[in-house]
Amino acid sequence: MLRILDARTGEPVSAAPARRGLTRIEAYAAGLDLTALRVLLTADVLVRALELGGTPVWTILTAPRRHAELRQAATTLAVRPFEDGRDLASGLGEAQVIHVVGADTEGIPGEGPLLAVAPAVWTGAGPAVADRPGGSPDGPRPLDLPALLDDPTALRLALLSVPRNTTARLDADRLGEAARSLARWRQAVAGWARQPSRPVPDAVRARLRAAWEDDLDLPGVLDVLRDVGSAPGLPDGARFETYVYADRLLALDLARDLGSLA
């Protein structure tokens, strides 16, 4: 059972409703920045985890400004589409709401658990930082989100690699490392796919679910994949099925290169 840490109480709570019905995930983004993208990504992973457990989910985005740009950035990051309003669950038996928020929880409705997300910040220079208008070198330069979203899956992996309650400090080196990891995994998955399929080992499936059901421990999920990739004696077909199964949660397009090997 998926459990999350409720920022209201500091206690773990079940993310699945105790009675039948929809769970509404409401993501709150204060602006168009890396922290907002991390909030949207966390909401997306929560949706995927609940759906894997059989819980019907619908999601909405609450943002005071730049709403359309946030939705477009979310689409680029492979975040599931947000619904258009609160009334869609009318008559459908909504059972629970979970709010996914940044550090500032002021103004969040007083019902339903809060899933808090630590900030994400860009710590380096380079193409992800835009030039200031007029070429002035003084003061911090604004983040160039279009440049960051040039490789959205690498950005997604870089953010998923940091525990949700820890500030994610990104720079060009971290994005490059994420891109190289994706390239290796995709090549490996394409190679494993050429072997007979084997089921995900029960012990591996249990480790994966134990990780993401423990307050969405995504770094733990990634650790399991690394172990599976190097485990001696594991059939390649089982490695393939494990990565494809985990990618239902991670959405890293790990099977993208299938059929590309000669």
> With the C-alpha atoms ordered 161, 182, 31, 6, is the resulting torsion angle positive or negative?
negative
What mean pLDDT value characterizes the chain?
88
Last residue within a domain, chosen from 171, 205, 225: 171
For residues 118 and 234, membership in a common domain is answered with: no
**Residue 186: CATH number of its domain:** 1.20.120
Q: Indicate the number of domains in the chain.
A: 2
Residue with structure tokens 């994966």?
208
Task: With a cut of 90, say whether residue 249 has pLDDT above it.
Answer: yes
Averaged over 45-57, what is the pLDDT? Answer: 94
For residues 19 and 86, membership in a common domain is answered with: yes
Ranges 7-11, 44-48, 248-252: which has the least confidence: 7-11
**What's the Cα-to-Cα distance from 186 to each of 175, 212, 233, rounded to whole Å?**
16, 22, 20
Residue 35 domain-assigned? yes
pLDDT digits (tens, 9 = 90+) for 139-184: 445 567 777 788 999 999 999 999 999 999 999 899 999 999 999 9
Q: Where are the alpha helices (DSSP H) in the chain?
A: 34-52, 67-76, 145-148, 152-160, 172-192, 202-212, 218-230, 236-250
Task: With a cut of 80, say whether residue 90 has pLDDT above it.
Answer: no
Q: What is the pTM of this model?
A: 0.90
- Domain membership of residue 193 as a residue range: 179-250
The percentage of the chain sitting over the pLDDT mark of 70, rounded to a whole number, equals: 85
Last residue within a domain, chosen from 171, 195, 218: 171
For residues 162 and 92, membership in a common domain is answered with: yes
> With the C-alpha atoms ordered 123, 125, 128, 133, is the resulting torsion angle positive or negative?
positive
For residues 150 and 72, membership in a common domain is answered with: yes
Averaged over 225-250, what is the pLDDT? Answer: 97
Q: Where are the alpha helices (DSSP H) in 77-120?
A: none
In single-letter form, the type of residue at position 251 comes to: A
